[in-house]
Amino acid sequence: MPQNKPIPKIKAEFLLGNLRQMKANPFQALCDWQRDYGDLVSFRLAIRRFYLISHPKLIEQALIKQSDIFVKMYDPKKPTGLALVLGQGLVTSQDELWQRQRRLMQPVFQRSNLASLHSQIVTAGNNLLARWRLLGDGAQVNLADEMMQVTLEVITQTMFSTSVLDKIEHIAPALDTALRYAAKSVMNPLRLPLSIPTQANREFNAASALLDEVIYGIIEQRRSQPSAHNDLLAMLLNASDDNGNLMSDKQIRDEVTTIFSAGHETTANLLSWTLYLLARHPDVLAKLRQELDTLLHGNVPTAEDLQQLVYTRAVLNESMRFRPPVGIMMRKIIKDTEIDGYSLKQGRLAIFSIYNIHHHPDFWQQPEQFDPERFLSDENRRFSFMPFGTGERVCIGNHFALLESQLLLSMIIQNFDLQLLNTDEAEIEMAVTLKPKGGVPARLTVRNRHR
């Protein structure tokens, strides 16, 4: 293997590097750079240096074979990125803490336990459908907001046995503000410390305070009214280490915030994109409806039914390929290393672009076409399809997210017709997750009037 192949550098300004392009449109910048420079490129945002990695082979060499070198970038003294919001939760923590927490929380998300959550997801779905019916035929809604609301209800009911719907109009914008700020903190190393009251800092601090109030409120409510709940919160509150020490409230807060935010934001985006894509592809929608009508006859799918909904799963998989809810993963390189003959330097950050890999023409025929049929074969897509990440840090809630998405999608599609109010293609916006800019405005029409 040839040694030290040169890594293409993105043409940059002297002081700012590539910061101007990244601030203008981070999603577009990462797509353009891969297209113009290749699957491994280096770029600079002021003083911070990055690698952009967009090839399955490079992903495997970095995240599987060298996962001890490509690590999460949590620094408790100077948190940045998602750590600003999630603290040392499961998404951001490292080493022994991460292993302990992952072991502790895994049982909640095992397939065997998911059956018990089925009815709570259905209840949230029925509440959504009932609310839509009350709006009347022809009502206009933003599907992105609606999906955010229903997935927030699902996650708080299933994981914490409570509801936050009465606070939804405050929580949703606060979470959005916090996550946007977190994303920008990584991409802009010139930001001022949080203690300096810039408008962005004030807005982030206010959003964080509101989220903390909600999360600590959920924890305190349970502590004051302990009951026989068998949910994630009970597990966290009762967990102790080898010395019998319980988890601190701060650690519980970090884990609850992680599941609370990551557990509904990504699924909401998946459903929003899927409904949008179905509305734009009536042939796919017709085929999906045929499967649902034939197998379900207007009923909510049981756990057994879900196994039979092969095309429904293919639609969700293709949606995750075409518009992955999480577009990138980021790691810090903790020592000089090499992948595929390229030398990578210690201290730099590696951005792994899930979006670029999901659209890579070497691995996907006609990648810009929305075609669920491609997921009806048994083709091995390891590392070329990874909507939930890969390796030991693969998303703990992947089976839960798919169960929830299949249930809610089948309920919505059986009961409502959705017509997009904007015929232009939705712009992709990257703020940690990939979301449709401005949401998905749509008109609702009740489909099964006899029910």
Residue range 125-140, pLDDT digits in tens: 999 999 999 999 999 9
Residue range 152-199, pLDDT digits in tens: 999 999 999 888 888 888 888 898 899 888 888 887 777 788 888 899
Neighbours of 9 (CB within 10 A): 14
DSSP per-residue letters across 121-155: HHHHHHHHHHHHHHH-TT-EEEHHHHHHHHHHHHH
Average pLDDT of the residues in 301-320:
96
Element (H, E) at 303: helix 303-308
The model's pTM: 0.94
In a domain, 93, yes or no: yes
Quote the CA–CA distance of 82 and 88 in Å, as a whole number: 10
Token readout for 189 is 């190393």
Q: In the beta sheet, which residues pair with residue 41? A: 52
pLDDT at 451 over 50: no
Of 164, 131, 135, give the one whose Cα is nearest residue 411: 131
In the chain, what are the helix, strand and coil shares in percent, each to the nearest 5? 55, 15, 35
Of 311, 288, 312, 315, give the one whose Cα is nearest residue 447: 288
Neighbours of 229 (CB within 10 A): 15
Quote the CA–CA distance of 258 and 240 in Å, as a whole number: 20
Residue range 339-393, pLDDT digits in tens: 999 999 999 999 999 999 999 999 999 999 999 999 998 888 889 999 999 988 8
3-state SS of 211-243 is HHHHHHHHHHHHHHCCCCCCCHHHHHHHCECCC
Residue range 30-67, pLDDT digits in tens: 999 999 999 999 999 998 999 999 999 999 999 999 99
Quote the CA–CA distance of 5 and 21 in Å, as a whole number: 26
Residue range 384-441, pLDDT digits in tens: 999 999 988 898 999 999 999 999 999 999 999 999 999 899 999 998 789 999 999 9
Q: Are 266 and 433 spatial neighbours (Cβ–Cβ below 8 Å)?
A: yes
Higher pLDDT, 137 or 450: 137
The chain-wide mean pLDDT, for the chain, equals 91
Average pLDDT of the residues in 11-26:
93
Cα of first residue to Cα of last residue in the chain, in angstroms, is: 65
In a domain, 231, yes or no: yes
Three-state secondary-structure class, residue 190:
coil
In a domain, 4, yes or no: no
**Predicted local confidence at residue 448, as pLDDT:** 66
CATH number at residue 28: 1.10.630.10
Quote the CA–CA distance of 272 and 418 in Å, as a whole number: 12
In a domain, 228, yes or no: yes
**Predicted local confidence at residue 411, as pLDDT:** 97
For residue 216, the enclosing domain spans: 19-446
**Predicted local confidence at residue 3, as pLDDT:** 59
DSSP per-residue letters across 20-40: HHHHH-HHHHHHHHHHHH-SE
Q: Are 387 and 320 spatial neighbours (Cβ–Cβ below 8 Å)?
A: yes
E strands present in 233-378: 328-333, 337-339, 342-344, 349-353
**Count of domains forming the chain:** 1
CA quadruple 306, 309, 311, 312: dihedral sign: negative
In a domain, 1, yes or no: no
In a domain, 414, yes or no: yes
In a domain, 209, yes or no: yes
pLDDT at 214 over 80: yes
φ and ψ of 142, to 5 deg: -100, 110
In a domain, 368, yes or no: yes
Quote the CA–CA distance of 53 and 354 in Å, as a whole number: 9
pLDDT at 449 over 50: no
Instruction: Say which range, 146-155, 180-189, 321-330, has the weakest mean pLDDT.
Output: 180-189
